[in-house]
Amino acid sequence: MILDYDSTKYIITSLDTNNISFVFNDKLYSFCQVEYTVSMHKDSLIYTLEIPIRTLDHCSDIELKGMHGIIRPCFENGIGLNLINSGNVTSGAINVKLNLDPNFLVSSVNPTPVNINGNEYEFVIDPIEPLRNKLVQIRGTVDCNSPIGTEYCFSSEIKEGLIANCQLNNNINNNICIKSIGSFDPNDKTIFVAGKENVQNIQKDELIEYRIRFQNTGTDTAYTVRIEDKLSEKFDIRSMRLTNYSHECTWKIENKILIVTFDKINLVDSFTNNEASNGFVVFEIKLKADIKINDEIRNRASIYFDFNEPIVTNEVINYFGNPISTVKDKLQVADNIDEIICVPNPTSNSFKVLIKDPSDISDILIFDTNGRLCKVFLQQTLSNDFNISELHAGTYIIKILNYKGISQGRFIKL
């Protein structure tokens, strides 16, 4: 639940005992209690819950999200930037600067920019009410001869302090790079991490964005489009937010399934108007704090056009932790391997390394028995304790790299 400025929310729950928690802007509110237990029964379908909160400040909180879209050579492409006011008061006017990729040739812009200087566009956006948004939409083309897979990069920022009232400024810039595509499955799913597309390895505290695209390739107008996305157990569902979309929509989470509904979208078919037959939605989410190194994160979505059978997107698979490629070169240059001893072994939380000269500054690499890199300690003194509590139980290989070469050993994590 996100606290709205009218202080009232209606939540649909199951007929059972539910634990209800709250997502709120902790710079503006503090809660006496974050989670409440609510029991719903068939003879009492309405439960009124009074939640005491303390308002810490009255501020607007403008976030820049998006710059998502499709880039296809020889076709007109749409790119959108979403400005969201996550605060509790209406903002003032917002001065936004947008830097477009120099190879993206603009055909139209909405709203009208107040200044254009080469690839730099400036806008003054009207005030935004609390928990509302405004869109900046850019349409343009790229060279027909540019190779498929070419990356086009865009950035945006709140240029200067035209925002009236208190402004928290927690997210005032956005950068993203989008790869061009050729003929493609129009119903697909893509992951973005820190503005980079299709990142495979996700690090701690990184914010994940998923973009789901859809196109009506049928023979008639689709009046309703519904997207269902079963969220991985590795996600902190409380952090989920919708950040950009092509058409007005509503969303909810039921039984850990994100449901986005485009009601009365009237999406024409691709034979009638190929450009107008497309849509998308973008949401962001964080991983749980207790995720383990090398955990696999899988995600796919089902797209329903009216009452037709769902179209299932590709499955996006990612891993938590560093990729092996970050240390590949170091492993190749070292050739004299000595055995090391870890104590205690087995261990449940941490271990020390027994080696001839523990004062050497080294890189410590931990692999599972399949050769996948699970954890890295960079530039460490070997007399330290090494915490491996987040690893799954099993057998691991430890390699120590320094100017003398490689030392290697094994340990068991309980």
pLDDT value of position 391? 85
- pLDDT mean over 194-215: 83
The band of 106, judged by pLDDT with boundaries at 50, 70 and 90, is very high
- Domain extent, residue 332, equals 324-413
44 pLDDT exceeds 50? yes
Residues 189 and 315 in one domain: yes
pLDDT value of position 123? 92
Indicate the residue among 132, 153, 184 that finishes a domain: 184
The band of 82, judged by pLDDT with boundaries at 50, 70 and 90, is confident
pLDDT value of position 267? 93
The H-or-E segment that residue 158 falls in is: strand 151-160
CA atoms of 240 and 375, how far apart (whole Å)? 27
Non-local CB neighbours of 329 within 8 Å, separated by 6+ positions? none
Length of the chain: 414
For the ranges 28-42, 167-181, 209-223, 329-343, the maximum mean pLDDT occurs at 209-223
CATH number of the domain encompassing residue 114:
2.60.40.10
- Per-residue pLDDT tens digits for 359-376: 566 778 888 877 777 888
Report DSSP state, residue 5: T
User: Is the model more confident about 21 or about 199?
Assistant: 199
Residues 48 and 70 in one domain: no
The band of 18, judged by pLDDT with boundaries at 50, 70 and 90, is low
Q: Is 33 exposed, middle or buried (0-12, 13-18, 19+ CB in 10 A)?
A: exposed
Model pTM above 0.75: no
CATH number of the domain encompassing residue 278:
2.60.40.740
Residues 177 and 192 in one domain: no
The band of 352, judged by pLDDT with boundaries at 50, 70 and 90, is confident
Residues 65 and 139 in one domain: yes
Alpha helices by DSSP H, listed for 278-375, are 328-333
Cβ contact 141:77 at 8 Å = yes
Residues 363 and 313 in one domain: no
- Per-residue pLDDT tens digits for 235-248: 988 888 888 888 88
- pLDDT mean over 14-24: 65
pLDDT value of position 45? 61
CA atoms of 258 and 230, how far apart (whole Å)? 6
Query: DSSP characters for 260-299?
Result: EEEEEEEE--TTT-TGGGEEEEEEEEEE-TTPPTT-EEEE
pLDDT value of position 221? 92
CA atoms of 305 and 68, how far apart (whole Å)? 22
For the ranges 50-54, 131-135, 164-168, 404-408, the maximum mean pLDDT occurs at 131-135
Non-local CB neighbours of 346 within 8 Å, separated by 6+ positions? 411, 412, 413, 414
If one counts the domains in the chain, the total is 4
Give me the amino acid identity at 170.
N
The band of 118, judged by pLDDT with boundaries at 50, 70 and 90, is very high
Round the average pLDDT of the chain to a whole number and report it: 79
Residues 106 and 200 in one domain: no
Indicate the residue among 272, 287, 321 that finishes a domain: 321
Residues 352 and 246 in one domain: no
**Least confident segment among 115-124, 154-163, 305-314:** 154-163
Sign of the torsion formed by the C-alpha atoms of 5, 10, 12 and 16: positive
- What percentage of residues in the chain have a pLDDT greater than 70? 79
Non-local CB neighbours of 412 within 8 Å, separated by 6+ positions? 345, 346, 347, 394, 395, 396
Residues 175 and 252 in one domain: no
224 pLDDT exceeds 90? yes
Residues 108 and 177 in one domain: yes
Indicate the residue among 321, 351, 373 that finishes a domain: 321
Residues 317 and 374 in one domain: no
